[in-house]
């Protein structure tokens, strides 16, 4: 990353850390996602779902902009240089005493729906829509972190563990990987409630509690639906 100077750390996940970087070329600030895994080849890098998704979905006003992919073949290290946003939705609502205005909530939710619509039309579903993965910069909202995304056309069942429990749709909790892109809309609904109320909607402490909390609010599924789940 010789063209960038690290300014500070923004966050860290299981597979990456995110740094605030200044470009030595244009002086602008960017978010740099450095992968902890090392890669053997540029082909392996290009086959990463996250990179494929960002390239396919960019440019869109409500999808995080990918500026460049920096791969050092000698060390195998990989970094994604993305646009720097102000904060994520979790940070926006975490410390608030007073709710956001209805107008602002509506504007944010409209943009989130636009990002999901664009993604689903392009054959990708996110699978981890949650406040931490939704970024804002003043009045603009952008969906980020495509590390869990899948192609709409890939085969079910999906085996790997996906999506943060609180935002997980019932079909993800009640089946072994038989869910569709519609799960993103469930998550968006949970986010909508949380932006409006400043409280999570279904904060389950484990999978069983998660289902119980959902059922306490919207009732248990009808027999027809349960039969479908049993299959």
Domain spans of the chain, in order of start = 4-83, 87-226
Mean of the pLDDT values across residues 106-120? 98
Residue 128 falls in the annotated catalytic set: yes
Q: Is 114 annotated as a binding residue?
A: no
**Pair 183, 169: CB distance under 8 Å:** yes
Decide if pLDDT at 146 tops 80. yes
CB 21 within 8 A of CB 29: yes
CATH topology of domain 4-83: Phosphorylase Kinase; domain 1 (3.30.200)
Asked if residue 40 has pLDDT above 90, the reply is yes
Which of the following is catalytic: 3, 26, 117, 128? 128
CATH architecture of the domain 87-226 equals: Orthogonal Bundle (1.10)
Query: Residue 188: is its pLDDT beyond 90?
Result: yes
Burial pattern 138-172, b for ≥16 Cβ within 10 A else e, equals: eeebbbbbbbbbbeeeeeeebeeebbebbbbbbbb
Q: How confident is the model at residue 157 (pLDDT cuts 50, 70, 90)?
A: confident
Write down the pTM of the prediction. Answer: 0.94
**What is the model's pLDDT at position 136?**
98
Residue 160 has pLDDT above 70, yes or no: no
Q: Of 4-18, 43-57, 58-72, 145-159, where does mean pLDDT reach its minimum?
A: 145-159
Q: Per-residue confidence at 178, pLDDT binned at 50, 70, 90? A: confident
> Is 197 within 8 Å of 163 (Cβ atoms)?
no
Mean pLDDT of 207-231: 91
Q: Please check whether the two domains, 4-83 and 87-226, share a CATH topology.
A: no
Q: What whole-number distance in Å separates Cα of residue 117 and Cα of residue 210?
A: 27
Residue for token digits 């605030």? 20
Please state whether beta strands 124-125 and 134-137 pair in parallel, antiparallel, or not at all (unpaired). Answer: unpaired
Over 90: is that where the pLDDT of 176 sits? Answer: no
Which pLDDT belongs to residue 163?
Answer: 65
* Two tokens, residue 183: 């799960």
Percent of the chain with pLDDT over 90: 83
Q: What is the mean pLDDT of the chain?
A: 94
With a cut of 70, say whether residue 121 has pLDDT above it: yes
């Amino acid at each position: 990353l010789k063209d960038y100077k690290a300014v500070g750390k923004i966050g860290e996940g299981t597979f990456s850390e995110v740094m605030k970087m200044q470009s030595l070329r244009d002086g602008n600030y960017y978010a740099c996602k450095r992968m902890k895994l090392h890669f053997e080849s540029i082909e392996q890098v290009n086959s990463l779902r996250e990179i494929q998704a960002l390239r396919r979905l960019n440019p869109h006003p409500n999808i995080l902009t990918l500026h460049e992919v920096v791969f050092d073949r000698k060390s195998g290290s990989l970094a994604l240089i993305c646009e720097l946003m102000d904060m994520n939705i979790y940070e926006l609502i975490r410390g608030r005493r007073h709710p956001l205005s209805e107008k602002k909530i509506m504007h944010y939710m409209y943009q989130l729906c636009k990002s999901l619509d664009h993604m689903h039309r392009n054959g990708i579903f996110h699978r981890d829509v949650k406040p931490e993965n939704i970024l804002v910069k003043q009045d603009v909202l952008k969906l980020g972190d495509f590390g869990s995304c899948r192609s709409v056309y890939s085969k079910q069942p999906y085996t790997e563990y996906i999506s943060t429990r609180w935002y997980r749709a019932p079909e993800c909790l009640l089946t072994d990987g038989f869910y569709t892109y519609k799960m993103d809309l469930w998550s968006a609904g949970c986010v909508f409630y949380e932006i409006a109320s400043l409280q999570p909607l279904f904060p389950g402490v484990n999978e069983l509690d998660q289902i119980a909390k959902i059922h306490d609010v919207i009732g248990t599924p009808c027999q027809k639906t349960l039969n479908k789940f049993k299959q």
